[in-house]
Chains A and B, each alone.
Chain A
Amino acid sequence: MAYSDKVLDHYNHPRNVGALDKKDPNVGTGMVGAPECGDVMKLQIKVNPDTGVIEDAKFKTFGCGSAIASSSLATEWLKGKSVDQALAIKNTDIVTELALPPVKIHCSVLAEDAIKAAIDDYKTKSSATAQVGASA
C-alpha cells in the first residue's frame, strides 16, 4: 500500500516519541488498541494546572505506519491547546491532514480515542487531587 508523503514523514521522523511520568498528577495517560490489526498506542499529555493548557505531549505506538503517523500528528496538535480545544480534535481532521485511505481510518479513530482517554485520565486525577486538597 502506498503511504502519503505526510504519513511517511511522520513515520520516518516521529514527533514527541517518549513517555511522561505517569504518577505526575498533571499527566494524563491514554492507552488504546485496535484488535483487528493488533496495534497498541499510548499517548500522554502534561497539563499546566493553572492555565489548563497542554504543555507537553508524548506518544509511543506499536503498529503500522498510519497508526504511528496519526499519533505523532496528534501530539503535535495537542501542544499549546487547552483541554477543551484538545477534545474538539476529530479523527476526520487527522484523516484529512494525513490523506489516509479508507482502510486506515481506524488508525485515526485510535488516535482520537487515545486523546480522549488521556484527557479522561488527567481529569480523573486532577479532580481526585482537588478533593484531597479541599479536605485538607
Chain B
Amino acid sequence: MSDYYAALDLPSLQLHLDLANLEQRFHAASRRLHPDRFARASAAEQQAALDASSVLNDAYRTLRDPLRRAEYALKLAGFNVGEQGNLDVPASLLEEVFEFNLALEEADADEVAAARNRFVALRGEIDARMEELFAAYDAAPKRETLEELRGLLNRRRYVANLISTASGEGIRH
C-alpha cells in the first residue's frame, strides 16, 4: 500500500486535516512531478515521476474525504476495514438496524419522512463525534480511539443505508 501521507508530506495517520492546506500541498507536489519538468530526464525517471503522480492523485482523493481518510488511516494502523469478510459488528447494532428496516417497511409516507430526518440527524451526530475522535487521536494517539472510530464508521454505514432506504431508493448493488 502506497503511503498517501508521505505523498503529501504529512505526518503519518494525522486524522484532522485542513482542506485548504491539503489542496495547496497537492498542487505543490503536482507541480514538482509535472511531466514538463522531466522532458529531458531518462525514461526511468519519467516513469517514476508518472507513478508518483498517480499515487499523489489517489492520496489527495482519499485524504480530502474525511470518511475515506479515516478508513485509510485505520488500514495503515492494521485494522481490517471495508474489506470482505469483516463481520465484526456488535449484535445490538444489528438488532437495532434490523428493527429500523422492518419498521420502515410498514411505515406510511409521513413516518418514513420523520424516520429519514432522525437518521440524517444521527448521521450528523456521528460525523461530529468522528471529528472529536480525529482531534483526540491527533493530540494523543491511542489504539482505543481508533477502535471507537472503527465502530463509528460501521455504524455510519448502516445509518447511511437506512437514509437511502427511507429516501425510497430501490435495490442496492
Q: Is the interface of B mostly helix, strand, loop or mixed?
A: helix
B91 in the interface, Cβ–Cβ < 8 Å?
Answer: yes
- List B contacts of A42 (CB < 8 A): 98
Asked whether, in the complex, the Cβ of B98 is within 8 Å of the Cβ of A40, the reply is: yes
Known contacts A35-B89, A35-B158; A62/B84 CB under 8 A? no
Q: What is the distance, in angstroms, from B167's C-beta to the closest C-beta of chain A?
A: 14
Known contacts A33-B93, A64-B172, A65-B173; A40/B87 CB under 8 A? no
Scan B96-135; emit 1 where CB is below 8 A from any A CB, else 0. 0110011000000000000000000000000000000000
Q: Which of B118-173 contact A (CB under 8 A)?
A: 153-154, 157-158, 160-161, 165, 171-173
- List A contacts of B91 (CB < 8 A): 31
Asked whether, in the complex, the Cβ of A38 is within 8 Å of the Cβ of B157, the reply is: yes
B21 in the interface, Cβ–Cβ < 8 Å?
Answer: no
- Contact partner, B101, options A11, A62, A110, Cβ 8 Å: A62
- List A contacts of B42 (CB < 8 A): none
- List B contacts of A11 (CB < 8 A): 171
Closest-by-CB residue of B relative to A35 is B154
- List A contacts of B85 (CB < 8 A): 106, 109
Q: How many A-B residue pairs have CB under 8 A?
A: 66
Asked whether, in the complex, the Cβ of A31 is within 8 Å of the Cβ of B94, the reply is: yes
Closest-by-CB residue of B relative to A32 is B87
- Contact partner, B98, options A35, A37, A62, A110, Cβ 8 Å: A62
Asked whether, in the complex, the Cβ of A32 is within 8 Å of the Cβ of B94, the reply is: yes
Asked whether, in the complex, the Cβ of A31 is within 8 Å of the Cβ of B158, the reply is: no
Closest-by-CB residue of A relative to B104 is A62
Asked whether, in the complex, the Cβ of A40 is within 8 Å of the Cβ of B157, the reply is: no
B95 in the interface, Cβ–Cβ < 8 Å?
Answer: yes
Chain A interface residues toward B at CB < 8 A: 1, 11, 31-38, 40, 42, 60, 62-65, 103, 105-106, 109-110, 113
A–B complex contacts, Cβ < 8 Å, 17 sampled: A1-B173, A31-B91, A34-B86, A35-B87, A35-B88, A35-B158, A36-B86, A36-B157, A38-B160, A42-B98, A62-B98, A62-B101, A62-B165, A63-B172, A65-B171, A65-B173, A106-B85
